[in-house]
Structure 1
């Protein structure tokens, strides 16, 4: 039985998770071939082994057209009588503001996944993550779930990150996932409409009814756990604990985050096998 262990000493995001799994040795060409079964154009994948703090790991990113800002995620479709514009809250990397009418609702994202050639495992779990994030945003912004939607470009970035996470897990042949407690930053992060507390509201909302352990690093005034990362954790982790004594660590991988922090900003993962 193969176990994946997440050592989330610097939080988790979608690209950190995929980068860490690629660092364990997943063939990048095979990963791209499988992800292409999503049948959605308009993106380019980048993965490179680099060193940060003299530690080598994999930097993974989804490149989108230069003319647009990819970090636009959820839009809260507030009725015009309440607000003169819509708000965007990015689901993985940062925050931005837009007036674009190009949006995808949750049902449309689910339809893209359902109509793809991906495996049932990838489809089912990717939709679970999207639903987790959308439900949390709906509560935070006091909206019906049907009104929560993605900006066109932010949706593409999120779709590739979330679907890619389960493509990578399937290629790795993991049977179960354990994790350490998660670490987030603290303080506030600046968004288009002011300062947002860390953990960000969507992540905090996803903690409701769960027993996911999170500690805050008071020395880091930034977001470390993104809504995408939290959604993945809620979907895949079977148990939060130290590495069990009956597991032998076979490989270690690192996936780097985009934020520059005073300490190593990476997700460390261990591929383990049960001792005979």
Structure 2
């Protein structure tokens, strides 16, 4: 029985999760091979092992042609013009994103893309569940039907690779159960294309509704630590929250680095546990 414990003392994002899994021993080439089953192009994966605060870990990134643009486009029936709202996803962009009104992917198109892939049934189901959680939260925040949520092409590609990659990683690492510490987020505001967004960001707050996910805020950190993708992963996949397991033995520790400057050690610590005999 393999248990993964996520120590989210500095929040969580898709990049941080995959960085931590790679640091635990996830085969980078095997990850690439599985993601190729999606039959999408225009991205490159990078993985760098480096030290922060003299602690070694892994920095993972999805590099997308044309740059980062984590947006979804909302189409209101009463308005002939497409109105763009912000679905920022990772730690990548600190300021404005540039949105375009073409090449958007509807949630149903994303789920169809996942269904049409050669990925395992488990990876497909988990990936679709995470995407749906995020889209439902965004739809509520922006007062629009779920059917009207469209992800911009570049942001959708980045999110697809990240979210599916996380689910692939869990399968490749043969994780049976996922546990987590209480999550930590920052405070204040972050700047996006349409102004300021409060931290925790609205989609993350919305995903707390109907859940018992514990989040504590660091009032000394004035930026986002929990991204919508990170929250979607946690809400969909984590079985329980609490301290480190006592009925299992830790076998390996990994660190996945975030990209925001928090003024401190910005990483997700992941610990593998094997059940005691």
Q: Scaled by the length of structure 2, what TM-score is found?
A: 0.95
User: Displacement, 1:80?
Assistant: 6.7
CA contact (8 A) 2:163 2:229 kept: yes
Partners of 1:88 and 1:241 lie apart in 2 by: 32
CA contact (8 A) 2:73 2:83 kept: no
CA contact (8 A) 1:186 1:219 kept: yes
User: Is residue 214 of structure 2 the alignment partner of residue 200 of structure 1?
Assistant: no
1:242-264: CA deviation from partner (whole Å, max 9, x where unpaired) = 11211111000000111111111
User: Displacement, 1:89?
Assistant: 2.4
Partners of 1:56 and 1:132 lie apart in 2 by: 33
User: Displacement, 1:236?
Assistant: 1.0
User: Displacement, 1:161?
Assistant: 0.1
Q: Scaled by the length of structure 1, what TM-score is found?
A: 0.96
Partners of 2:68 and 2:55 lie apart in 1 by: 28
Partner of 2:24: 24
Partners of 1:46 and 1:212 lie apart in 2 by: 31
User: Displacement, 1:88?
Assistant: 3.2
User: Is residue 63 of structure 2 the alignment partner of residue 63 of structure 1?
Assistant: yes
Partners of 1:85 and 1:110 lie apart in 2 by: 23
User: Displacement, 1:75?
Assistant: 2.1
CA contact (8 A) 1:73 1:158 kept: no
Deviates more, 1:98-107 or 1:212-221: 98-107
Q: Which consecutive residues of structure 1, in runs of 5 or more, have no partner in the other structure?
A: none
Partner of 1:34: 34
Partners of 1:232 and 1:26 lie apart in 2 by: 18
What does residue range 26-105 of structure 1 map to in structure 2 within 5 Å? 26-65=26-65, 68-79=66-77, 81=79, 85-93=83-91, 94=93, 96-105=97-106
User: Displacement, 1:53?
Assistant: 1.1
Taking only aligned residues, the RMSD between alpha carbons, in angstroms, comes to: 1.4
What is the aligned length?
Answer: 274
What does residue range 177-192 of structure 1 map to in structure 2 within 5 Å? 177-192=178-193
Q: Which consecutive residues of structure 2, in runs of 5 or more, have no partner in the other structure?
A: none
Task: Assess, with a 3 A threshold, how the Cα gap between structure 1 residues 238 and 26 changes in structure 2: closer, same or farther.
Answer: same
